[in-house]
Chains A and B, each alone.
Chain A
Amino acid sequence: MNLKKYLWLIIALYWLSVLLVTAQDKYTISGEVTDAETGEVLIGVTIYTADKMIGTMTNTYGFYSLTLPAGQQTIYFSFVGYETQQKQLLLNSNQSIKIALQTNETALNEVVVKAEKKDKNITSTQMAGEKLDMKTIDKLPVLFGERDVLKTIQLLPGISTVSEGGNGFSVRGGSIDQNLILLDEAPVYSASHLMGFFSVFNADAIKGMTVYKSGIPANYGGRAASVLDITMKDGNMKKLQGSGGIGLLASRITLEGPVVADKMSFIVSGRRSYADLMAKGANQIDGDTKMYFYDLNAKLNYKINDNNRLFLSGYFGKDDFGFDDLGMDWGNTTATLRWNHLFSAKLFSNTTALYSEYDYGFNFGDNGSMQSGIKDVSLKQDFTWYASPENTLRYGLNCTYHTFYPGEFLFEDQSISDIKVAEKQAFESSLYISNEQKLGQQLVLDYGLRASMFNQVGKGENITYDDDNNIIDKEYFSNGQVMQSYYGLEPRLGINYRLTPQSSFKASYNRMVQYLHLLSNSTSGQPTDTWTPSTYNIKPTTVNQYSVGWFRNFFDNTFEFSAESYYKTMNNISDYKDGTQVMLNEDIESYVLQGEGRSFGLELYLKKKYGNFTGWISYTLSNTENKIDGINNGQWYSSSYDKTHDVSIVSSYQLSTRLSVSANWIFYTGNAVTFPSGKYEFDGNQVPYYTERNGYRMPDYHRLDLNIHLEGKGKRRINSSWDFSLYNLYNRMNAYTINFRENETNPNITEAVKLSLFGIVPSVTWNFKF
């Protein structure tokens, strides 16, 4: 089939790379933009000419390239939270210009503020790509003193919390496994610690992130609903610096600095929770109980010369729970090695080698132990070619080898045979190309195509099942033999039409193909969920999404408003036959049912960006339904991720230079759930009788959080600050589950019992910086 198409693409890419023709009367300026104090490269800095007619942005590595007409030019470099810098130059040759921006902590200089290009939201083609830097996240209320990127994105429209105490989030009706979460380009398979209370991303080590929920650029793929691209800090190039915090549940410390000044830097950041120590102190649990998580981020950043740069980064985290010799643990490991290379002022290259692993294990003391997980090894090559001020091309390829080990149970007792679900392996590869093209001053197009290929390879067996999950046929494949292949062509399109200087209309289309599936019999996500490849029996999920939006800024860009609407169709989404046992089920593939889904929604977003009072209101109205043969008599039913209304109000008020107060309020419609519509007696038990799938709703969820942030006095050797926070201020007992069961004293009476996880939770954290 598509081999021909791939060949054509490769030829086209080669041709593009070779064809580096420069227009004669134009020259290119290029280089990187850094933070003047730390030398950290800045992502998403806007660079534009005095008349704002030509502009660009720094990429993930802080690099920019802009081709301008020869002659006298004034260039502005601007970034939120930094002083805008102006550069006069006489352009008569290609120039490398490095810029270091000064932070603008107090942000009171009106002149500077006016000069900023604050209408990025209007001009960017990226429809739903929301960039958040840590400076924004810093100002939000924190839970247990931990700023959290995953918690923050759940306050944006279209992104919803799946459940309190759960692992994941849902984007525009997508399931939790449809989010591609990248940490320095390495996929993170399970992003939370401690029942979802903490994400695995230690805020101290994070530089920023971008979340895409539609119009997903062609360089991302493999997941159907969204991309969350998180970048770790590179480490301070100028001086040794430390920061940290001591909280009630966890403490953290970060150290960063130069190895060779302005040449090589490092950052190491560690965190550990001690809920178990606290509980022991309070005599809540016995001495042998373990209950903690820890994680470690490290990065080394080496600027070889102006054209070459190397990064090595890693993450290692683990949760550990148990008592005596029984227990469970789970965690991620990722490693990224990157090489940035400039072939010319216009051709930027990034080469990446990746490793990512997620595993969990159980230990049953004398009885045995169990292990399960997924492992990825990946190679990636990306090019950005700043062909002209009107055209920026991005192209590249990506190959990943996945190893899935769904689980094995090793019994201590040698006379019982171990249970082992066979390992699976798969090879996933893709090619992409896209062009960001400016057509006149009003229209920007970003169009691209991603071609993906997925091969499940041996050794293994393709098993054919009948309707009752009995094996009918088996076909054996040896090592490396292709067992099953799938292909996908994924067009991507984004249109930005600037209506007026303050408003724009954006539209996008994307098709995403997802070859990996998370086997989970619950919606909220648990560490014990298992990843599986698309196989002979399980088909890849595909999603088509159409999105339109109107963006408008008011009052000199102080307020941003957007209204977006989307429609999504999903194919081959998975659910299970009734009562399926997911864990350690050798024949799990025969229990997976696949069908279609659809989702549509309206998202409103109003944000105040500047001033002492900042914050946003986001509202999402949406509907998500599934239709899967074998479930709900093959009729459409509300998806478990369907949330009719979802509201977040986020606000922060700077009372004085030292004191700020922030609060957020969250409201959403309860999840669609299956409740009984009758009961019967069997063997002395009152048994609930279920009819339609997801025909009921959990009670609405709402909660108010408050945070007071107090900065220490003036400049000292150690700067310190305090965070006092109250989670769930008005102590709403939100339902985590509702169970139907017999009354304990009178088994003839049946009742509904609500379980709530958290009432009001106060916390205090002391943060320091030196």
Chain B
Amino acid sequence: MKTTKKYIFGLSYLLIISLVFASCEEVIDITLNDAEPKLTMDGVINLNSAATVKLSYTTSYFADEPPIYETNATIKITNKRGISEILSHVGNGYYIGQSLLGEVGIEYELSVVVDGKIHAGNSRLMTPTQIVDLSYTKFDGFGSSNDEDEYNLEIVLKNNPQEDNYYLVKYYLNGSDKEETYSLWSHEFFPNDELIEFSPLRFSFTKDDFVTVKAYSIDEGTYDYYSQLDEIIDQRGGGSSTPFNPTSNLGKDILGYFRAWSFDEKSIQVEDN
């Protein structure tokens, strides 16, 4: 599925709505049903690292206590050469591998067995990228003119013209370990050159911010999953399109995703002049 050319369409109708009218947001109390807990998985194999997988169950939406973890699963990771490893549980639903490390150009299969039921799926580790250059420009689009100056990033990434590459770029502020937001870039948006450059409009910052960028090289399935996830977690004030659960690569009876990836990281701060 060509999930999305939507990242080009940053300028959406709903964005205009919230811009044009002095719309107003308010946190409200609402009663929601509690669904039957469903198995969820967050699995990753990073370049030169062993796989880590977290298994837990969904909780009620407004719950602030930790979820119930699945601690009795059998999780196996296998690479395309047929070498596999069983992950071991280290507590709180975390399972980690030791010997099988992420390698470029290799596809990995993850299988999770819980209560006799098998959930399995694949992801491929693509050529790593590199943040060749990271700079910023002053943002002069819409927005209140009274506020502090805002800045946008300009990013240059290394790209492998021999491959159909996809990138997930996360933006962090002031050393936080949770990203502010992320954006996705497909090879379709660029000439297939050695270097690609772009300026993400959805992330802006001010003079005092310390900005860190992580650029992940991902495969098409991961790109699609994060695109769907973005629609669900970042509704940005609008859209009455029907929400849904992003589709897992491990089948219908599980939520979450298993991906193989690598990343590069760089930081920047606005200089005084």
Contact = CB atoms under 8 A, between A and B. Distances in A.
Nearest to A195: B17
B82 interface: no
Interface string B196-216: 000000000000000000000
B145 A675 contact: no
A755 B238 contact: yes
A585 B229 contact: no
B24 A689 contact: no
B143 A286 contact: yes
A419 interface: yes
A738 B30 contact: yes
Contact of B30 (A413, A578, A675): A675
Contacts of A682: 40, 42, 229, 255-257
Residue among A163, A415, A755 with most chain B CB within 10 A: A755
Contact of B33 (A673, A695, A736): A695
Q: Is the interface of B mostly helix, strand, loop or mixed?
A: loop
A757 interface: yes
Contacts of B239: 522, 737
Given A674-B243, A677-B33, A685 B229 contact: yes
Contacts, number: 224
A332 interface: no
Nearest to A683: B42
Interface in B222-273: 228-229, 231-235, 237-247, 255-257
Interface string A151-165: 000000000000101
Contact of A165 (B17, B32, B67): B17
Contact of B61 (A321, A737, A750): A750
A286 B142 contact: yes
A37 interface: no
Interface size of A as a range: 35 or more
B60 interface: yes
Given A362-B9, A685-B229, A676 B61 contact: yes
A680 B144 contact: no
A409 interface: yes
Interface size class, chain B: 35 or more
A755 B57 CA distance: 30
Given A409-B5, A579-B231, A750-B61, A677 B245 contact: no
Contact of B229 (A687, A689, A736, A755): A687
A673 to B, nearest CB: 8
B35 A691 contact: yes
A362 B146 CA distance: 28
Interface in B2-24: 2-6, 8-9, 11, 13-14, 16-21, 23-24
A419 B244 contact: no
B245 A690 contact: yes
A753 B32 contact: no
A690 B244 contact: yes
A576 B37 CA distance: 26
A286 B247 contact: no
12 contacts: A194-B20, A324-B141, A326-B11, A469-B1, A581-B6, A584-B5, A675-B30, A677-B60, A688-B61, A736-B238, A740-B235, A749-B64
Interface of B: 1-6, 8-9, 11, 13-14, 16-21, 23-30, 32-35, 37-38, 40, 42, 54, 56-64, 67, 140-146, 177-179, 188-193, 228-229, 231-235, 237-247, 255-257
